[in-house]
Amino acid sequence: MLWNNYAEPNAVAFKKGLTETLIWAKLHLQNHPAILGKVQDIIDKEARFATAYKYPEAYRTSNQVDRPMNDLDRYLYQTRYFHGHLATAQQKMRAWAMIYNFKPFQKQTVKKMGKNSRFEELNGFKYHQNWLQNMLIAGSMNGFRTHHTIR
């Protein structure tokens, strides 16, 4: 029920939906105080969530940021974060970002989107069919873009 409220078209409908959800929760979750408390916590933040309706083009959730940040956090944890010099840390982060942007999507995603990687999704083209060759070509051009793809 809470999740459905986020799909409401405007702040008034969102707030109304939250009020109805709270009424339902108080009637049906009396024996589950922990869950009822979580629902109440969300209701208490209603004004903060409703602010998103002032920006209709904005995402309702932070998945667009959370997913890459989770991947980065796992990578940094696995490599035990940073050791050595600042230049080494910068190279490490650039390497992670390059691989993240060029590594191929899963087959289902490729079928659904028709794009092979984040680079292709964002730029609308690819230099080469092979993802590693595509990354090496893009990384070696210092930002210069040709109008022809390399085959």
Tens place of pLDDT per residue across the chain (151 aa): 888 888 889 999 999 999 999 999 999 999 999 999 999 999 999 999 899 899 988 776 778 788 899 999 999 999 999 988 999 999 999 999 999 999 999 999 999 999 999 999 999 999 999 999 999 988 886 556 665 555 5
Q: Calculate the alpha carbon distances from 53 to 5, 8, 11, 43, 123 in Å.
A: 12, 9, 6, 16, 29
Amino acid, single-letter form, for residue 21: T
Q: Calculate the alpha carbon distances from 134 to 85, 121, 127 in Å.
A: 29, 13, 5
What is the pLDDT, as a whole number, of residue 149? Answer: 53
Burial of 117 (0-12, 13-18, 19+ CB in 10 A): buried
